[in-house]
Amino acid sequence: MKNHIFIKNKINNFNEKIKVSSDKSISIRSILLASQSVGISKISNLLESEDVLNTLKTIKKLGINYYKKRNIYNIEGYGLNGFNIKKKTIINCGNSGTLARLILGLLVKTKKKIKLIGDKSLSKRDFSRVIKPLRMFGANIKSYKNMLPIEILGSDFLRPVTYNEKIGSAQVKSCIILCALNTPGTSIINAEISRNHTELMLKFLKYPIKIKKKKKFDQIFINGLHQFKAFEYDVPGDISSASFFIVLTLLSKQSQIIIENVNINKSRLGIVSILNKMGAGIQLKKRRTYNGEEIADIYVKSKRNLTAINCPSKLNSSAIDEFLIIFLVAAKAKGISRFKNLGEMNKKESKRLDIAIKFLELIGIKVERFQNDINIYGRPNLILSKNFEIKNFLKDHRVFFLSCIAALTLGGKWKINDKDSINTSFPDFLKTLKNLGAQIN
Ligand code: S3P
């Protein structure tokens, strides 16, 4: 079956209200925590993308039942480590780094050996960042070169740990928190700032977790072995998915958009801070709090005269999945934009920093790179007319989304491969674009 699309025209002006896909990080966490709660949790608006469906398949393999009734996922938990595991269980995490890293934290006490595998992209990613702290807790983990496949066998002799998480990775932090739930005593994580959905969800569940805000990091205290009750959760929209529509609107002519009901947790809001520093004028309206998370509608209008940014690297973690699309704005901004310390981008579903530079050069943008820092020479009048083909990007969903937005805002005739990568995080991406008037074949 054909797995590419063609875009041959820029999008015409639009003025619409849209919804984007539900938040992937919160969807995965809500399933994993429901699997550890006591009773039947009810999750509505769960993202039905491959990463999340793989999370559902995972808990099923671990003996947790769920069913979907009228758009609500009902997940039946038997408390902490209440898994029922068969011999020789293999869990396929597909493309999801979040699932693979978080589930390891929950498997530290299992009675049977479990093997974790993943797709080509996930099998190239580094797991030493979670293997190291889990071994400090006493987990039994086998892996070759700290990559998948990984085998884990639970231990009855877990001990609490104090761990300094220095990468600023929410996956690592969350993996350790989940492991600490199964560990007696108080574990402490001194964690560089990263998305905090796991902590907020545990607080909402009244789990004994305490967070002390330090100047540059969070000190998180987790008391292990407390049970928590099943819960209800309505998953909000994903700002990472919204980011592509924010930039589509900014770079189009005479258009505006309202993106409704998006999670605007401060630890995810880097894209708005960065683009507003570049003159985007994005507004957050109807701000409200839901189960500890902040939610809003995002208002964006087309903007000329965007200016370059010297991006403070303290914003990196809160925009880590959005830099690809932020770079497209830098390509159209006046002046030289500077971004620093973006090595983590190369540790994602594909080597995104390397790919971003190739992509920018392909569309005629000058880029300078010094290790993990890059300078992007903006061209406000950039218009494309050539043919472009985007391929060999390890089916990274966000590279596919970037390519579509570039095609629809800059012109040129584009063939973009690996269309099915959208299923990782945003299965309705192309449909949402078409509803705005995009011509996609
Ligand atoms: C995620 C954390 C981030 C992000 C990923 C989702 C999460 O990864 O890139 O898409 O849900 O915890 P890191 O924690 O490795 O930075």
Q: If you average pLDDT over every residue of the chain, what do you get?
A: 98
Ligand 1 pocket check for 95: Cβ under 6 Å:
no
Residues of the chain with CATH 3.65.10.10: 4-22+236-435, 24-223
Distance 172 CA to ligand 1 centre (A): 9
Looking at the DSSP bridge assignments, the partners of residue 229 are: 38
Question: How large is the C-alpha radius of gyration of the chain?
Answer: 22
The pTM of this model reads: 0.98
- Average pLDDT score over residue span 409-414: 98
Give the pLDDT confidence score for residue 342 in this predicted structure.
98
Mean pLDDT of 124-134: 98
User: Which of 25, 95, 192, 401 best tests ligand 1's pocket when mutated (most atoms within 8 Å of CB)?
Assistant: 25
CATH 3.50.50.60 describes domain 4-22+236-435: no
Amino acid in the structure at residue 328: L
Summarize the confidence of residues 296-304 as an average pLDDT: 98
- Alpha-carbon distance 133 to 122, whole Å? 20
Cβ of 55 less than 6 Å from ligand 1: no
Structure confidence at residue 1 as a pLDDT band (50, 70, 90): confident
CATH top-level class for 24-223?
Answer: alpha beta
Could you tell me if the CB of 54 is within 6 A of ligand 1?
A: no
Residue 268 beta carbon below 6 angstroms from any ligand 1 atom: no
d(CA 122, CA 349): 7
Per-residue pLDDT at 66: 98
Q: Is the CB of 22 under 6 A from ligand 1?
A: no
Catalytic residues: 321
The confidence score (pLDDT) of residue 2 equals 86
Q: Which of 192, 195, 268 to mutate to test the pocket of ligand 1 (most atoms within 8 A of CB)?
A: 195
297-306 average pLDDT score: 97
Position 422 scores a pLDDT of 98
pLDDT, residue 435, reads 98
Asked if residues 118 and 94 have their Cβ atoms less than 8 Å apart, the reply is yes
Cβ–ligand 1 distance for 169 under 6 Å, the answer yes
pLDDT in tens, 13-40: 999 999 999 999 999 999 999 999 999 9
> Which of 394, 371, 274, 252 shows the shortest CA–CA distance to 322?
274
The pLDDT tens digits of the residues spanning 61-109 come to 999 999 999 999 999 999 999 999 999 999 999 999 999 999 999 999 9
412, two tokens: 């040129």
Spatial separation of the C-alpha atoms in residues 292 and 197, rounded to whole Å = 9
Pocket test for ligand 1, best of 49, 172, 320 (most atoms within 8 A of CB): 320
> Average pLDDT for residues 255-260, to the nearest whole number?
98
* 416: pLDDT strictly greater than 80: yes
Average pLDDT for 197-209: 98
Cis peptide bond N-terminal to 427, omega within 30? no
